Chains A and B, each alone.
Chain A
């Protein structure tokens, strides 16, 4: 048995320096805010909880690069993985139509977080999305084109421009939101998104309510897209049963409803779903039952991302001034 304790010289002095150790966060994009102390926000009709259905509409190229990391849902098997490619493409062929039907039947409009390449690949699908009056937010070009710190500014600007220009070419100025593929950003992404004329971003998962973000090209609103309660993380990444996923959403809704009542401030339940997962035949009824459960509450404001951003922005001054 060995009993040698390694002789160490330790780490360089820089390991014990803390350049950002100060009051507030360790960056300047937005101030620290305490959720229960934010200025109250009222939703239209004095409803307690805004229901935001956000649908990830992705395209996963079969030859997508693994760098700088493989996006969740990326090709998990060796090239050429028809398994992975077609399982995801099923979402754009079949699953999305089930989602549209389930939402249409309940008078709900989703926000599609869309890779722009889908607009050129599947024009028929774009017409259907428009017919369901869904909002479209730009979600980069495709799932192989990750925004990250290793991209040059010019390359990243070109990606943002391609996504926004393509989608605005189809859906016009109604394209106001941004989602970076796989929730990944460089330090510049926010600046480039604001520069492209968008209003809100959905990548940061640190709050249940919107807040303002500073960029070099004006303000953006951060919207609380869910990740820790998204179908992609739970059903696909962590193999949760469908019923446990819908039970989690119901629990979140109960918590947020109670908080809306006790604080007098609206809350947001974000239902983040994916056509190739929630649009499967064995899951679509569970989605319908979940939506019925949420809507039966009566205290719900079904809204798109833009509608929530506008309602928040109209009241944001009070929030920015709150302690």
Chain B
């Protein structure tokens, strides 16, 4: 077993090359709706049981189904109201199951990236060839339903295996979201090719906040605002990234949608904000800062107060 992921070296939050986002923005804000389907009768994975209750776990199955029938539509309208696009962490089989959702995403000019095939099919214990097969399925399915290229990746249920990032880079994926180690994109060390991490979040993420703890809606808004305000301020020194991961079955519920609405109203009233997609953030960083960061890392992270 590995004692650490091995895809990055330590990089202090001082002395870094200065990032400036398009139009002088200090912060790149991106919303990542996880649009998922959990199967009623999934196969077993040796390392993770899909449902907390015996199959059929109709309580948990239908709770997630709520997102596709009701929550997504409400959430999409709220985001559109503020002109905020989504970058969809997509279980790609959902294209086949519910193409109406994909049509709505495309109509809103949202990005689609892959979150695997189903959220009940994990990457634990897959061979590299099996991982490649699934990445190809994602690439082909997203292309077929949206015409988009597959640029980003979040392993389904974040069940990546040790080799996953290498395989992603070799398959031409440009950015990975399996890392929550930083508030800025970072080059990833991979066997071949070029891969960067774009910040995701497990802090201002509605699964831990609503599913695991049921944070009151007003507290959620306060947390998202605080996250934004701090990263906005720090972005004056070097541009930051704030990701707001969303799950339609949670945030799209009628008791919570106003909490998202209030948070977005706060974010969009600032002028130095870049409302971006994951793909746009990855492209800007790769074009303007990948080499600078790589050189800084290779030189032993000089600068700061040392």
Which residues of A are interface residues toward B (Cβ below 8 A)? 1-6, 8-11, 14-16, 18, 20-27, 32-36, 68-69, 148-150, 182-187, 203-208, 227-229, 233-234, 238, 240-241, 244, 247-249, 251-256, 259
Which of the 9-residue segments B56-64, B106-114, B150-158, B180-188 touches chain A? B56-64
Pair B66/A207 contact, Cβ less than 8 Å: yes
Interface positions of B from 69 to 84, Cβ below 8 Å from A: 69-70, 73-74
Chain B proximity of A31: nearest CB distance (Å): 11
Residue of B whose beta carbon sits closest to that of A10: B127
Contact call B98/A32, Cβ cutoff below 8 A: yes
Cα(A207)–Cα(B133), bound, Å: 35
Say what secondary structure dominates the interface of chain A: loop
From 113 to 129 in chain B, residues with beta carbon under 8 angstroms from any chain A beta carbon are 117-118, 121, 125-127, 129
Q: Is the CB of A34 within 8 A of B100?
A: yes
26 example contacts (A-B, Cβ-Cβ < 8 A) are as follows A2-B3, A4-B1, A5-B163, A11-B130, A15-B130, A18-B117, A23-B99, A36-B73, A148-B53, A149-B54, A182-B59, A203-B59, A203-B62, A206-B69, A206-B70, A207-B66, A208-B70, A228-B250, A238-B214, A240-B214, A247-B218, A248-B256, A251-B217, A251-B256, A255-B74, A259-B254
Contact across chains for B69 and A34 when beta carbons are under 8 A apart: yes
Given contacts A240-B214, A251-B254, A251-B259, 6 further A-B contacts (CB under 8 A): A10-B129, A16-B134, A33-B69, A68-B53, A185-B58, A252-B254
Q: List the one stretch of B37-45, B226-234, B236-244, B294-302 in contact with chain A.
A: B37-45
Counting contact residues on chain B (CB < 8 A from A), the size range is 35 or more
Q: A11-B130, A68-B53 are in contact. Are A205 and B63 (CB under 8 A)?
A: yes
Contact, CB under 8 Å: B253 / A68: no
Cross-chain contact A20 with B255 (CB below 8 angstroms)? no
Q: Nearest Cβ distance between residue A167 and chain B, in whole angstroms?
A: 22
Q: Give the distance to chain B from A190, nearest Cβ to Cβ, in Å.
A: 10
B138 to chain A, nearest CB (A): 13
Contact A184-B58, Cβ < 8 Å, known A10-B126, A251-B255: yes
Query: What is the chain A residue whose CB lies nearest that of B53?
Result: A69
User: How many angstroms from the CA of A280 to the CA of B217 in the assembled complex?
Assistant: 24
How far, in Å, is B72 (CB) from chain A's closest CB?
Answer: 9
B73 touches A186 (CB 8 A): no
Q: Known: A33-B69, A182-B59, A204-B58. Is A247-B125 also a contact (CB below 8 A)?
A: no
Bound-state CA distance A23–B43 (Å) is 20
Q: Of B54, B62, B127, B256, which contacts A9 at CB under 8 A? A: B127
